[in-house]
Structure 1
């Protein structure tokens, strides 16, 4: 049999094409989680010359050695600084849901559960912004803000004016903003802020600078504020008007906290400041005095933390529910462990409710999300679609015992790629606050009916299945 003669250039391309495929088959499953490996192998198998450079750029949550070393140093200091604070440690009952969860979060995130806090949850967008601005206006020593997004709108201007006024009073103001999420706010307001004496830094800077820090699409998605080391804010709300995406007003949940847990927020801000600048900020010698009776604990996560700690904490919480489990997220693209945990909980008789947004600002994510709902509905999970707002809030409630609020979405990007922040509250009174918010969310939602969902057009099923192949990239 005579083989067709190939031009030398074509032969080289043919050989390179198959070398990439074979190399990917041997290399990627060792370096990636199974779901991500399948997605990358599928892409490279179809278009090797396109898939390889994309994999090299986005295939691994790569973080520079310098950032990893700085994170390890910061976590070590945080753990050491907590050792003398045993009198503030909250110890759950050995048989409670919180016992294992609190130890897991401390082991992987460095922060211990601390008692003596006052926690107020709020889902009124305008009221929570007014509260933050009022706290900045009352600052006397320092204001530390860390946000994923700051827009060039009225809210961004109001925050800028508040920081400029605080700096004029002699308050030391520092602002950390994600380089991509807050690009417009940095461009519009950073010059005036710096001229007024506010220290402004962009986190995970894009462009060519990414090669010195981390993979270019890794983002700092946290939202937190610390005022005078006495008051803290965290949650899902950014520094932007609720309708910064036209036609899709956001609904959020934020927490205003006082007490010892504010020291944890201050330490996390100092940790991220150190990661970005190399500058070590002085922390107060003593945490704030007790301001209430709520036990609380921070859950920081991201690619510089071990063991996919946000995902593991969420899965642990799901498995520990005994009666009720309520989760809200704008983006639901779970990994296998989270999907399985939810289905097992529902099949075990737990009342599992998942609140999603009927409107979504991420089209591909919304398509992929649909593909996960068949298994959940079949297992007995109640899926509610919130409207008319875009439900950007992220929260989780386990029975009447634990509430989790913050920036953590139930998607692979949030679990593996973004720097995130959750606040765990182990107080039935705080859980009752979340119950009221949750009830209002459900009152403005429609329950997805399994039979109707199964009758959706075939093209929607196919589109969802195709989008799901990109779950590790979303």
Structure 2
């Protein structure tokens, strides 16, 4: 019986005990795809896999944050009831009718007409538009961004906010604590000294234990100036080359009209969730500034449904002629992959625009593994060059455009707080079509037969990387 006292016996028992507990516990707490990935890791490396699962395996949010999101959603619904006259009503049984109802039920906001929406894919031009709007602000500037770097763009934005605060403008800056770590360290002290209210979202380091799983991030990008002008899209507060060798290409929407109130509500909600402070929100949205119907779609782990994923799948399912999707990171779940394949097999022109360069190597390897089935189904795949295509946008026929911060990956769908702007206007879709055309004009278009001939070692690396899809 001496073997029972041997350390190797106890280690073996612990090893198999972890595997058995994981098999009983993980599938109950995780989606099937994520559970498979975690069980594979724990099965091979139990002593490493278990602590990693405890830290990263479940999109945990504190009860306080979930309750605050539920309170914010309730207030948004109540505030919209008296504004029924501003609701835009699409034609019955149209694509827009289906999508607008889905997004309102899951993301809280109704579609509103009377907006002016300008899409910009020139990095410098979109930045200058934001700086000009801050410089012209009279009473309020609210900025919420995932990333802010201590570079020329960060300097320009910080200077603009400090100057606005000195003019008496009430400025608030809400930044993700991890994504904007460098910006917070460089600018927060002097901005606070100038009168700007600077807060960090989802504290990193050991402080994460009080609020959420440590890798849950707020990935939104938005600005609201004087409650009448809004900016949202994929562009952060950083120079385009903040990742060396990967200068970014982005798309930003500058918005005027009633939907700006929805952007303001998102900022107020995130401010409340982070600080507990309730900001004053006007009873009436801005007056009509154009003719475009639009609707915001927020998503994230605090919501009961996968808002972004469900909207993308629904858009792909309802396309009738053409579907174009641009994303820098393509690690889809099964529902999204199936929707794209089925659309192409149904005879719809499906164009996927990815970036030829990528600043996340493991994600790029995993991404490659999905392209075989898509190309086989008839999906057209283009790799944009020479810049890093960081823009995230989607268009359906000539009816709907979606721009924002949502990547087509499991992280955006399940872990990050994201934001999308849905535009139900052929004129806005035409703007996005021109941007898509520019991306496609400077791209490598994949050939299915040639793609299948890539080296076996690349296929193997991609297949192995895909096993980590739930971690990316």
User: Same fold judged by TM-score > 0.5?
Assistant: yes
Take 2:136 and 2:283, find their aligned partners in 1: how far apart are those partners?
Answer: 22
Show the 5 A alignment for 1:54-453: 54-453=52-451
Residue 90 of structure 1: how far off its partner (Å): 0.6
Give me the TM-score of the superposition, normalised by structure 1.
Answer: 0.99
Residue 12 of structure 1: how far off its partner (Å): 2.1
Take 2:39 and 2:4, find their aligned partners in 1: how far apart are those partners?
Answer: 27
Find out whether 1:467 has 2:447 as its counterpart: no
Take 2:464 and 2:455, find their aligned partners in 1: how far apart are those partners?
Answer: 15
Take 2:203 and 2:9, find their aligned partners in 1: how far apart are those partners?
Answer: 41
The superposition leaves residues 63-82 of structure 1 with CA deviations (integer Å, 9 ceiling, x where unpaired) of 00000000000010011000
The superposition leaves residues 384-427 of structure 1 with CA deviations (integer Å, 9 ceiling, x where unpaired) of 00000000000000000000000000000000000000000000
Residue 13 of structure 1: how far off its partner (Å): 1.8
Cα 1:9–1:155 shift into 2, 3 Å: same
Residue 460 of structure 1: how far off its partner (Å): 0.2
2:4–2:10 CA contact under 8 A, matched in 1? no
Find out whether 1:48 has 2:73 as its counterpart: no
Take 2:407 and 2:136, find their aligned partners in 1: how far apart are those partners?
Answer: 32
Residue 6 of structure 1: how far off its partner (Å): 4.8
2:88–2:112 CA contact under 8 A, matched in 1? yes
The superposition leaves residues 18-54 of structure 1 with CA deviations (integer Å, 9 ceiling, x where unpaired) of 1110111111112111110110000000111110010
Take 1:334 and 1:176, find their aligned partners in 2: how far apart are those partners?
Answer: 29
Take 1:218 and 1:82, find their aligned partners in 2: how far apart are those partners?
Answer: 29
2:3–2:9 CA contact under 8 A, matched in 1? no
Take 2:282 and 2:226, find their aligned partners in 1: how far apart are those partners?
Answer: 10
Query: What 5-or-longer segments of structure 1 have no aligned partner?
Result: none
Match of 1:26, SS state, is: helix
RMSD, aligned CA? 0.9
The superposition leaves residues 106-151 of structure 1 with CA deviations (integer Å, 9 ceiling, x where unpaired) of 0011000000100000000000000000000000010000000000
Residue 247 of structure 1: how far off its partner (Å): 1.5
Segments ≥4 residues shifted beyond 3 Å: none
Match of 2:273, SS state, is: helix
Give me the TM-score of the superposition, normalised by structure 2.
Answer: 0.99
Take 2:321 and 2:153, find their aligned partners in 1: how far apart are those partners?
Answer: 41
Take 1:35 and 1:378, find their aligned partners in 2: how far apart are those partners?
Answer: 23
Match of 1:287, SS state, is: coil
Query: What 5-or-longer segments of structure 2 have no aligned partner?
Result: none
Q: Which residue of 2 aligns with 1:29?
A: 27
Take 1:101 and 1:19, find their aligned partners in 2: how far apart are those partners?
Answer: 47
Match of 2:402, SS state, is: strand
Residue 309 of structure 1: how far off its partner (Å): 1.0
